[in-house]
Amino acid sequence: MTRYTGHDLAVSWNTAAFGTVWLEDDFRALDVTESVTDANSTAGNDTYAGHLPTYTDANATFEMLGTTGSGTAHWTKLAPRTTGTLDWYPEGTASTKPKHSAAAYISSRDRSYPYADVVTVSLGFQFDGAITDGAVT
């Protein structure tokens, strides 16, 4: 199996109000999480808990450097509650490379100002529906 690093990751946030905002220039990490909620189906004289999967939930966190210029412009376009589509390209945007998309809203936005390090921005995206997996065309 071919392995790759996150170096070639490309990420865009697409909204009706602001168009496409490319985020990968100063990225540190993108973490996408899918989890299943379950219903407890234990009843009667069961001696072990029973579980039934009910629905899947997904979200992402994105960390980037807080730069001047484009970072300030990004900050205003990445406000909490903003809805759009998050697209990420793990191996870059060349034709036939994998592409993933999810309708989402920004659920959190944090900026950290450490004393002796670079400023970072962390974004939380709550997905609204399934992730679409495909290829760059």
Burial 72-88 (b: 16+ CB within 10 A, else e): eebeebbeeebebbbbb
* Model pLDDT, residue 4: 77
The 10s digit of each residue's pLDDT in 68-102 is 555 566 778 899 999 999 999 999 999 999 999 99
Compute the distance between CA of residue 41 and CA of residue 35 in angstroms, rounded to an integer: 19
Q: Which CATH architecture has domain 6-36+54-135?
A: Roll (2.30)
The amino acid at residue 82 is T
In DSSP notation, the chain reads -----GGG-EEEEEETTTEEEE-GGGEEEEEEEEEEEEEE---TT-SS--EEEEEEEEEEEEEEE--STHHHHHHHHS-TT-EEEEEEETT-SSTTSEEEEEEEEEEEEEEE--TTS--EEEEEEEE-SPPEEEE--
Compute the distance between CA of residue 110 and CA of residue 78 in angstroms, rounded to an integer: 11
Domain boundaries, the chain: 6-36+54-135
What end-to-end distance do the CA atoms of the chain give, in Å? 23
Pair of tokens at residue 127: 């997905």
State pTM to two decimals: 0.88
* Model pLDDT, residue 25: 76
40 CB neighbour count, 10 Å cutoff: 9
The 10s digit of each residue's pLDDT in 54-73 is 999 999 999 988 765 555 66
pLDDT exceeding 90 applies to what percent of the chain? Answer: 73
